[in-house]
Amino acid sequence: MKLITYAVLLAAVTSGNVFAESRWGLGLGASTGDKGYVDVGNETNAIPIIYFESENFQLLGPNFGYKLLSFDDLEFSFVGQYRFDGYEEDDGDIFAGMEERSGALDLGLAVDYATEFGDFSLQFVTDATSEHEGNELSLTYAKSYNFGSYQLKPYVTFSRLSEDLVDHYYGVRATEATASRAMYLGESTSNVELGIQSSWQVGKHHNFIGYASYTAYGSEIKDSPLIDKSGNLNFILGYMYVF
């Protein structure tokens, strides 16, 4: 599952009402997607949804945000989010003989700016667990369309991934190289993600969530011998009961 998954679920659940009065919820979702690895098909995962929101703090699963400052439509927040990238050797034949790459907890800062033309978010996160030891800078533009209890929010995200991050998840070390899997040193690259999220609120307590996105990989990821696609497609469906 991608790092943005929980952030998207959070945006859909709150329906644009960021840092509102205290509330919490529980739910369950499912995600399916293809990370683009050679001969590795779609992965489907169950997503337990644990949600809490107060005036300055939000938590959804392993992701959180704490508002530091706000000036009218401008907000500064401290954020943390779990990166679900990585693989194990038995995930596919392409990984035979390779060391496991695990997920990581990324921490950083976010700046959100709401305008009449849409919402802008600039975010910088870095590895706090010494797994990939890299960082990611992203800029997102989103526009909400409300139809009563139903909301649609298309968005586009431009991300810059550091050399350490790309090399860790898409590189092949000298000790892992084989005749069919060349050594590869990943370098910094940029991804572009297009997506749409939706939420449908039924009464005070029931929230249904939908999400679809396509991420176009940067050249340094596409050139990896572990990758045979130019990007990945991801879908999420979920339900949450808000108390």
pLDDT tens, residue order, the chain (243 aa): 444 444 445 545 554 444 456 888 999 999 898 888 998 878 888 888 888 999 899 988 778 999 999 998 999 999 999 998 999 999 999 999 999 999 999 999 999 999 999 999 999 999 999 999 999 999 999 999 999 999 999 999 999 999 999 999 999 999 999 998 999 999 999 999 999 999 999 988 999 999 999 999 999 999 999 999 999 999 999 999 998
Q: What is the CATH number of the domain that holds 57?
A: 2.40.230
- pTM for the structure as a whole: 0.88
- pLDDT per residue as tens digits for the range 61-113: 778 999 999 998 999 999 999 998 999 999 999 999 999 999 999 999 999 99
User: How many angstroms separate the CA atoms of 38 and 117, rounded?
Assistant: 40
Structure-token match 């699963």, residue found: 61
User: How many angstroms separate the CA atoms of 85 and 87, rounded?
Assistant: 7
Range of the domain at 185: 4-242
Q: Where are the beta strands (DSSP E) in 19-144?
A: 23-33, 43-53, 57-60, 63-71, 74-83, 104-115, 118-127, 135-142
Q: ∠ CA 186-188-191 to the nearest 5 degrees?
A: 105
User: How many angstroms separate the CA atoms of 85 and 78, rounded?
Assistant: 22
Structure-token match 């709150």, residue found: 14
Q: Number of folded domains in the chain? A: 1
User: How many angstroms separate the CA atoms of 216 and 231, rounded?
Assistant: 4
